[in-house]
Structure 1
Amino acid sequence: MQYPLNEVFETIQGEGVYTGVPAIFVRLQGCPVGCPWCDTQHTWDLDPEQQVAPSGIIGKLTASATWAEFSASQLLALFKAQNYHAKHVVITGGEPAMFDLRPLAAELESAGYRLQIETSGTFELRVSPQTWVTVSPKLDMPGGYLVRPDCMKRANEIKYPVAMQKHIDAFDHLLKTCPPRADAIIALQPISQRPRATELAIKTCIERNWRLSVQLHKYLNIE
């Protein structure tokens, strides 16, 4: 199994339950969902003309649409070659659920890594039972994809981006029509750290006893 890798880097997780945890981010190329506020729009198109050799991804310093194919074993070798210390691996994108992540999970978990996937919940999840699934539901996006009930049931945490009350209302409808598992952690994340969005998220989290996710990495100005 080959995966279209846009970039890989070591940092701390800045969102959700694992905020503050050292992590290796594996960003895959390709996403048809089309969120207007997406801060990684360069990962949307899986353009063959942007494919480069694996060496072109290592140490990538600027955001771009270039990508390279990596197998699970090549990715594990890259972790070791880069002398990464973190044992928490975040598979993100793009939309990583477009790909079968089970071979990648088997390779990395056998080497002592813990996996987390960040997904919109619009594609079937092909992950290991141990993978921590973060579903960030994307509703009424230009791509026209629907959030899958099976993704909501599999999610360990549901991290929902909000800016206005209509987003809360839409989320309430989703929770009613696609109920999550009983132990799923629900977090609200203000879009782009806008003051009004942050105020709304804090107010709602207090009222509902939900969590707040604030994209810590953007406040710290790190990846």
Structure 2
Amino acid sequence: MFETIQGEGSFTGIPSVFVRLQGCPVGCPWCDTKHTWSLDDALVTTAHEVINKPQEDEQFFTTDENGLLSLFNDEGYVAKHVVITGGEPCMYDLRPLTTYLHDNGYTTQIETSGTYEVLCDPRTYVTVSPKINMKGGMEVLIGALERANEIKHPIAMQKHIDELDALLKDVSSLEGKQVCLQPISQQKRATELAVKTCIARNWRLSLQTHKYIGIE
């Protein structure tokens, strides 16, 4: 859990509190948060240890909605946009958490792989970054894409765009949804392909600006 600037997608530049939920079976090979994959009870520690650790590791803490908001206050967070990510946050029913946060003056955003049903408050902004043919063998659910406000797809080559096109054929409508292409690892070839495709289709380019400016 930490306060920073949202670096990707439609909310780029917005001060945000990131809450990373533990656990993910999807298995993306390029994942930069692999420390969130394991749900081993032996890794549970205190919130203080997790929030103040000097570097990322697999330890995590547990709390409820009220306890999480208390931690925001204890840490002096001023951002009012909460990004719920992971791991894979939609492994969990997020309706109690997202409703509680909205009712207490926050906006919420979920970042999910689309491999689980999205259970959240109707006011929550849902970003689906569809993870196709990953090691975990999980399918992207059309229901998750239907719920998405934003479909943000990491790409490195034309094959990845073709895979996205195949998914989008089954979505009833893209009206009101923002489609973003995000070059994997800021690769030059991937960036050029993303720019070209976004212009041709009137989609949006999503850059991992936090990596360019060197923040978490």
What TM bracket, shorter-length normalisation? over 0.9
Aligned match for 2:68, one of 75, 96, 100: 75
Once the two structures are TM-superposed, the CA of residue 108 in structure 1 deviates from its matched residue by 1.1
Q: Report what 1:186 is aligned to.
A: 179
Q: Report what 2:118 is aligned to.
A: 125
Q: Does 1:16 align with 2:44?
A: no
Q: What is the SS of the residue equivalent to 1:197?
A: helix
Structure 1 alignment gaps of length 5 or more: 1-7
Once the two structures are TM-superposed, the CA of residue 180 in structure 1 deviates from its matched residue by 4.7
Q: What is the SS of the residue equivalent to 1:196?
A: helix
Once the two structures are TM-superposed, the CA of residue 48 in structure 1 deviates from its matched residue by 1.2
Aligned match for 1:26, one of 19, 22, 31: 19
Whole-angstrom CA distance in 1 between matches of 2:173 and 2:19: 26
Structure 2 alignment gaps of length 5 or more: none
Higher fraction of strand: 1
Q: Report what 2:57 is aligned to.
A: 64
Runs of 4+ in 1 over 4 A off after TM superposition: none
For these two proteins, the number of residue pairs brought into alignment is 216
Kept after mapping to 1: 8 A contact 2:99/2:120:
no
Q: What is the SS of the residue equivalent to 1:168?
A: helix
Q: Report what 1:99 is aligned to.
A: 92
Distance 1:98 1:180, change over 3 A: farther
Q: Report what 1:200 is aligned to.
A: 193
- Deviations 1:101-124 (Å, cap 9, x if unpaired)? 111112211110000000001001
Aligned match for 1:48, one of 41, 44, 60: 41
Percent of aligned pairs with the same residue? 58
Distance 1:130 1:89, change over 3 A: same
Q: Report what 1:161 is aligned to.
A: 154
Q: Report what 2:211 is aligned to.
A: 218
Aligned match for 2:106, one of 113, 126, 146: 113
Kept after mapping to 1: 8 A contact 2:91/2:116:
yes
Structure 1, 21-30 or 49-58: larger mean CA deviation: 49-58
TM-score computed with the length of structure 2 as normaliser: 0.97
Distance 1:211 1:133, change over 3 A: same
Structure 1, 76-85 or 178-187: larger mean CA deviation: 178-187
Kept after mapping to 1: 8 A contact 2:195/2:205:
yes
Whole-angstrom CA distance in 1 between matches of 2:173 and 2:132: 16
Aligned match for 1:138, one of 122, 131, 141: 131
Aligned match for 1:39, one of 32, 36, 41: 32
Q: Report what 1:5 is aligned to.
A: none
